[in-house]
Amino acid sequence: MRRQGVSLAEAAKRLGISQSDLYVAVQKGQIPTFRKNGRTTVRPGALAEYKIRSSYISSYRL
């Protein structure tokens, strides 16, 4: 089975956030990553899930 993934820089672009914010989310475990050929990559599905979760949280109003 072959895993597909995008680089952290590309993931930040796709999410529309800074690389620093992406690194924080990865470190907190909010975005799962895996190593491929010595590089940290992110599944495109994980990006979509994070985007949905973050938009749900940011649209919540008290």
What pLDDT sits at residue 32? 94
3-state secondary structure of 34: strand
Domain 6-58, CATH: 1.10.1660.10
For the stretch 4-53, pLDDT in tens is 899 999 999 999 999 999 999 999 999 999 998 899 999 989 999 998 88
Q: Domain spans of the chain?
A: 6-58
What is the pTM (predicted TM-score) of this model?
Answer: 0.77
Length reported for the chain: 62
Average pLDDT estimate for 46-61: 76
CA 10 to chain centre: 10
